[in-house]
Amino acid sequence: MRPAPLPVRDGLGPARVRLRGGPVLAELTARFGEPARCKVLSGEVVDADGAAVDGATVLPAGSHVYLYRDLPDEVPVPFDIPVLHRDADVVVVDKPPFLATMPRGRHVAQTALVRLRRELGLPELSPAHRLDRLTAGVLVFTTRREVRGAYQTLFARGLVSKTYLARAGGEPAVTLPVVIRSRIVKHRGRLQAVCEPGEPNAETLVERVSGGLYRLTPRTGRTHQLRVHMASLGLPIEGDPLYPDVIDVPPDDFGTPLRLLAQRLEFDDPLTGERREFVSRRPGP
């Protein structure tokens, strides 16, 4: 994908809109209302070449235009993002709970990506992988566009060893340690991911450390994988508002964190071949 023609502004890149074709002003107004119309007429919307569109601009179907979105009101997440490591290629942080990795839905400015771009002055910062909003722990970002693909590919191919710690109540339905394999699917518009019949696409090693503390070693990275697998064992993770049951939590309630920590990451650096190991400094869950 070619770079956006507008730079990152205040930690956030421009929105990219794929057009259905025809007069741009009419389409954007119909889809996004008066605010979009005002942006076009004030020259704030540009095409893929960076040229401002206006009331007379007509573009074919499949074209893209770019504009800065109006940010929603967000509840500030009252936790810092400690940096564990920083060099020319990567920034590794100890993400707090309640902070999404990157903008999505109602979480935009209050995300690890946008806050770190602002705090560190790194407009090309990009996540090499993701953690759930409620999961705390080790999270890796790349600093430059040129190295982004190498690190993202490392995670996508499952070449990163990940270790999580979780606190859960109850007793497991099976003898531990155990490897759980299932097919996990996250349907659009549904809060919970679900297990469905079919070829397994998710695998997790579950071990008891002591009492209600468990070590989780995922071999795959499906959405909510660890939370789904622990709940399936009769061991829902403490503080989980989704599994096994959905609980309505106010957006400003930060008092009950999910007791799940991405405690350790290890991989061979795709650029240098050096063995990398990063460990969270947060107390156990």
The 8-class DSSP code of residue 231 comes to H
Answer yes or no: are the C-beta atoms of 218 and 234 closer than 8 Å: no
Which tokens in the block code for residue 62? 């499949």
Helix spans in 145-222 (H) = 145-156
Q: Quick one: CA dihedral 238, 240, 244, 249, positive or negative?
A: positive
CA dist., res. 148 & res. 141, Å (int): 8
Annotated catalytic residue, options 54, 70, 73, 132: 132
87 is catalytic: no
CA dist., res. 96 & res. 102, Å (int): 13
Strands 202-210 and 136-142: unpaired
**Active site positions, annotated:** 132
